[in-house]
Each structure stands twice: as C-alpha cells, then as structure tokens.
Amino acid sequence: MKITSVKIASALAFCLLIPCASACSSVQPSGQSAAKDIPAEKTTSDLPNVKILATGGTIAGTSDSNTDTTDYTSGQLGVDALIAAVPEIKTKADVTGEQIVNFNSPDINSEVLLTLGKRINDLLASQEVDGVVVTHGTDTLEETAYFLNLVVKSEKPVVVVGAMRPSTALSADGPMNLYNAVRLAADPGAKAKGVMVVMNDRIGAARYTTKTNTSATDSFASTEQGYLGEFAGEDIRFNATILKDHTTKTPFDISKLDALPQVDILYSYQNEGRSLFEAAVDAGAKGIVVAGTGNGSMSQIAEEAARKTAADGTLIVRSTRVGSGIVTHKPSDDTDNFVSADSLNPQKARILLSLSLTATTNREQIQENFNIY
C-alpha cells in the first residue's frame, strides 16, 4: 500500500495526542469487527461516563489530500484515534470506546444493526454508563438512528454523529461534531428525548432528521418539524420535544433476534411496470416500501401489481420520493391492503416495516405502528 505524506502526517498527529501503542494500534482494517461483549469500564471521577461505539464512515475517513472532501476512503481510523483527536471531550465525560465495525455506512446491514442495538441496551442497563455516542457514516446514518430510536430500551441519551468531511480535510467537521455529541450524551437534560442526531451544531430527532445534500456540511436537517435544539457556544439549548413514541415506549424487542425480515424499496417513475414487484417477492421480500410519486401514488400498472402482491401476503407500504410531507391514509388503502407511511421517508419506512414484521403480519396493527412511531 502506498503511504503518502498527508496520511503519515495525519497518523502522527493522532499518535502525538496519546501514547502511540494505544492510538495507532486501535486503527482496524476496514470491515473488521471488534469484540462485542466488552464490559463497561468503571471510572472514578465525578464526570458522567459516556461510551463511544464506532462504526466507521467519513468521520473516520482519510485522503491523500487535505483539500479532498469527496474522493476519500471511509472507515480508516479506529475509535481510539477519534477520541485522541478531540482531547477536550475528556473535560465533559469519562469517555471510552469500542469498535463495532469500521467501514462505509452503505455496508451497514441488519446484522450490524442488531449487534449495535443489543450492545447499547446492555451498556445503558449498567449504572456505570450514562450515555452512548455512535459514530457513523452519513449516507445511512438516519436509518441507523431511527432503528435505534425504535429498539433502545432506556431513557439515557443516545446520540448518533458523523461528519461530511474526512479527518484529513481542511476544516474537518468531525472533531466538533464528536465534541458536541459527547457533551450532549453526558447532559442529564438530554434524557428521554429519543435517539438524537448531532451534526453542524444542531440537535435533531432521529424520527425526523434526514440527509438533504450530497456533500455540504449543513446537509442534515429536519425541514418540516424543526430541530430539537442546538449548541450555542458551551450551552446546549433544547427548543422542542418529539411527540412520536420512541425507545422505552415502543414494543420492539431485539434481544432474541439474529436477523430481520427482508424489506425492499421500489422507486416510482413514469412508465413503471409490475416486474420489480415480482422480482422483489421472488427474491424473498416479506415487505415492500413504494417510494411513490406525490402523495404516495403509483401508475395504474404498478398499483395493480402492488395490489396483487399485497393480496398474496407481502406487506405494501406507500411512502413518497418527494422528500418531505405526509403520505395520507386513503379509504382505498384498506381495500387494497396497503399501509400509508405517514411522514416517514422510504428508507425509514423500510426500518419500521422490517421491525413490525418481527412481531406481526397484521396490516391494521402495522398501520398503527406507522401512525404512532
């Protein structure tokens, strides 16, 4: 492997912050999982105890050029290097880390989600952990955050954080995002607010926050509902609360699950047909989310295919490709055996449908889940 001067300088910068044996040896190969049953460490200071669970992504990414913000390699730095790069977090909490996986977030799958969710529940059940931060790639960050919002069984803060620029970039946003995430997870005022997303000095609810731009640092937003709060210097300001049920108020129990039902997303467009519905069912899909046009609409041919698919036992959820707004429930949904997605975008609707299918195939109950969560 060719090692450039930029990467050497970056590695040296991380190693100078803590002993090299600790910082440098923590960097794991892309995709490699760390031990998943490490107990929470007991600390002796009066600071809150925050555990950082790392999964890779841009926040742990590097490039040969410090001006490169798009053509970098994700998941190159280990969790110890991330912690060492922001020594200021040690003034806010007793911080320790674990590496769950270390790769690009589109590679996050159901196995990783279940591992992450179970580990967080184990950690938060301990009196030695006051909050959890998950570092994550931004491409699928909102899906993981919403999954955790449904399966974490604690009121203690869980914060998902990422970066839009790699660690080697000029004005990298990861260090400040991580600093804010740790102090939010350590803040008693952050309890019982559901899983939160921290990016660009904003605090978003996992239920509503989504990525809105391919590369801008202010990509993550909650355009219709607004943010839960923001960081104003050293102050954490909460301005709103989420009314949708979450965490301890959901029925989803993953403690005994080792897999999730397959749910596929089909994108609506002009001249669409029935073949993708048939292909999804043939490939084993137990549910299908349709990213419909407008208010979750489909072409006549696609709607006929969806209606037949639902009649044959595969759950169909109508979402929208628009980007915001509520897909309203129509009387025809009840006769067609469709579920309307409320304000969930297709990728989050897929998460909720998959979890719902672990408990029931009853369409009315699943529709109620979409109304509540």
Enclosing H/E stretch for 302: helix 300-311
Do 132 and 120 form a contact (C-beta atoms < 8 A)?
yes
Hey, what are 244's tokens?
């949708």
| Joined tokens for residue 148 | 């955790």
Phi/psi at 229 (nearest 5 deg)? -175, -165
Cα–chain-centroid distance for residue 346? 14
Cα distances (angstroms) measured from residue 371 to each of 9, 77, 112, 134, 339: 51, 40, 27, 27, 10
Longest dimension (CA), the chain: 65
**Catalytic residue among 58, 144, 209, 210, which?**
58
Question: φ and ψ at 213, to 5 degrees?
Answer: -145, 145
Residue keyed to tokens 């992504």:
57
> Does residue 58 carry a catalytic annotation?
yes
Contacts 24+ apart (CB under 8 A), 311-314: 311/337, 312/281, 313/361, 314/280, 314/281, 314/285, 314/286, 314/287, 314/288
The closest alpha carbon to 118, from 161, 156, 151, 79, belongs to 151
- The neighbouring-strand residues paired with 98 are 53
Task: Decide: helix, strand or coil at residue 293.
Answer: strand
The encoded tokens of residue 194 equal 């559901």
Q: Which residues are catalytic?
A: 58
